[in-house]
Structure 1
Amino acid sequence: MSSLTVVRYEREGQAHYGVLADGVLERLVGSPFEGIVKSGERDRLDAVRLLPPVAQPRIFGLGYNYRAHSQESQKAVPEIPVVFMKPSTCVVGHEDAIVYPSHGENIHFEGELTVVMGKTARHVTEADALGHVFGYTCGNDISDRVLQRRESSFGCLLAGKGYDTFGPIGPWIVTGLDPADQRIITRVNGTVRQDGNSRDLVFSVPFLVAYLSKYMTLLPGDLIMTGTPAGVGPISVDDVIEVEIPAIGVLRNPVVAEAH
């Protein structure tokens, strides 16, 4: 299966998509979700600023979708996908700051394999599901555990996952990967805190796409954050969080204090 690295970036105040090869971006005409059409213009990767791979996406998150994470959380393995949503305003890109809330008490990282939808999907089968996926990126589902637990006690989950900057994604999208066998590594200040593999997923990517499309229309550019492996833990101001999926790259974000 052929693979492309598709980058969303800013050059001279303008946002573009490009296909990356050997440090050079071949600029695309329009959105890659409408087709990979090269404009003939080129930009060097070291001369641009990376942007979140998708602008203002809808984000579907999955809770307890790794068996080992369910075990460390002392939760039963779910019988159906535990789905929540994160607002588009939480999204930041590679090297952008995660803002630690001034009232935050226990904010956690969660490194995740993130699906980028490429085609409209409604009532698709598992067998056809991957044909609607554009590619994959790294994600970090930053979570306020105190607020999350308060919300969850009433059967809801939104604000604890939805602060501005609580959805880092990037650095880019890679197509043609096997989502069933991807290593996910999260480091805090260079120390490995998570090292899992999507082989441990409770619900596979094809199942999740089919399941969601049974109830709602999935759109090009929608993200599915597939859940986090074991090893989640707290972050602090001045930390640097890295989520690495070797077949994709490294998503790196510093943590800063909220300005008053």
Structure 2
Amino acid sequence: MTLKFARLGTAGNEQPAVIAQDADGTEKYFSLTALTNDIDGGFLASDGIERTREALNKGELPEISPEGLRIGAPVARPGAVVAIGLNYTAHAAESGATPPEVPVVFLKPTNTISGPFDAAPIPPSSTKYDWEVELAIVIGQEASYLSIVTEAAACIAGYAVANDLSEREYQIPGAAGQWTKGKSLPGSTPLGPWLVPANDIDAGNLRLQTLVNGEPRQDSNTSDMIFEPATIVHHLSQYMVLEPGDVIITGTPEGVALSGRFPFIQPGDVVELEIEGLGRQRQEYFQANAAQAGAAQAVSLAGTHA
């Protein structure tokens, strides 16, 4: 039985749920409120995934209907969102960079996380807003000064789809260009729709795709990563404590607007991102004024607290 964990409901009122898929592909939704108040670090660290399997096998979880329910980010607001840059060789080349010999690491504010289908604001002064489909790691056990990569693999609870939206004018040019400025904007980390347990998927061989207004932009495979997930977790553990519920986004493949081959996101554009086995996101973009951008930030904050 394949499991997919989700958080359903209006922003700030999401309820934890699990989607169970039988061998014939039939899916049923079940409430997790009997086991936990939320899908968060505490749930993951206390063997929440295995407890869910046991409860399903015993018939202890009530079936629910997802009809009409918003899908929020699949994990409650993490303590940290850690990002890896230039982790696909072809993307490094299209960015004009040499493939890194060690992971490039930066942080994103946790209040950038939004639901996978939420309307997405283009920042008020933005001219170069860009998409980035990425495999997201969700940490299930504390990782600190890990000795070997196999220890790191055991710290991964599961995986999800992420979009690392990036304002390139803020990120790159001139003396003031900084990755943090370009990647910290309201609603700039749509996450989900699901969290799939690490043991239920081969994260090293997943197709990643991005469509803009139905036209293909990115089409690659996680097998092309320079640093695979367990290596990333092991490396990060030497410099920071990764806690249960933390999210690591692992870099994007080639095909972004920064390449010069495609226009940047415009108001009214629809961006769809998909990773094989992890589901599909869809965001419709609007030009935000300062008040709307602030409102989007508030939704992101509310949407990650159940």
Name the TM tier (shorter chain). over 0.9
One-letter code aligned to 1:90: T
Per-residue CA deviation, residues 179-217 of structure 1 (Å, 9 max, x unaligned), is 211110001011110001111111111110000111111
Question: Are 1:255 and 2:285 an aligned pair?
Answer: yes
Equivalent position of 1:218 in the other structure: 242
Contact kept in structure 1, 2:172 and 2:178, CA below 8 Å = no
Question: Are 1:5 and 2:35 an aligned pair?
Answer: no
Equivalent position of 1:236 in the other structure: 266
Aligned counterparts, 1:101-140, within 5 A: 101-124=123-146, 125-140=148-163
In 2, the alpha carbon distance for the partners of 1:27 and 1:11 equals: 16
Counterparts in 2 of 1:12 and 1:117: CA distance versus 1, 3 Å: closer
Shift >4 Å, 4+ stretches: 153-156
Q: Report the secondary structure of 2:233's partner residue.
A: helix
Unpaired runs of 5+ in structure 1? Answer: none
Equivalent position of 1:52 in the other structure: 73
Question: Are 1:25 and 2:29 an aligned pair?
Answer: yes
In 2, the alpha carbon distance for the partners of 1:143 and 1:13 equals: 25
Equivalent position of 2:232 in the other structure: 208
**Greater helix share, structure number:** 2
**Structure label with greater radius of gyration:** 2
Q: Report the secondary structure of 1:54's partner residue.
A: coil
In 2, the alpha carbon distance for the partners of 1:101 and 1:45 equals: 32
Superposition RMSD on alpha carbons, in Å?
2.0
Contact kept in structure 2, 1:63 and 1:83, CA below 8 Å = yes
Question: Are 1:157 and 2:179 an aligned pair?
Answer: yes
Q: Report the secondary structure of 1:228's partner residue.
A: coil
Q: Percent identity?
A: 34
Aligned counterparts, 1:33-182, within 5 A: 33=44, 34=46, 35=48, 36-37=51-52, 38=55, 40-57=61-78, 58-124=80-146, 125-150=148-173, 153=175, 156-175=178-197, 176-182=200-206
One-letter code aligned to 1:42: E
Report the TM-score, using the length of structure 2 for normalisation: 0.79
Counterparts in 2 of 1:53 and 1:149: CA distance versus 1, 3 Å: same
Distance apart, 1:77 and its partner CA: 0.6
Equivalent position of 2:297 in the other structure: none
Distance apart, 1:24 and its partner CA: 2.9
Report the TM-score, using the length of structure 1 for normalisation: 0.93
Contact kept in structure 1, 2:10 and 2:69, CA below 8 Å = yes
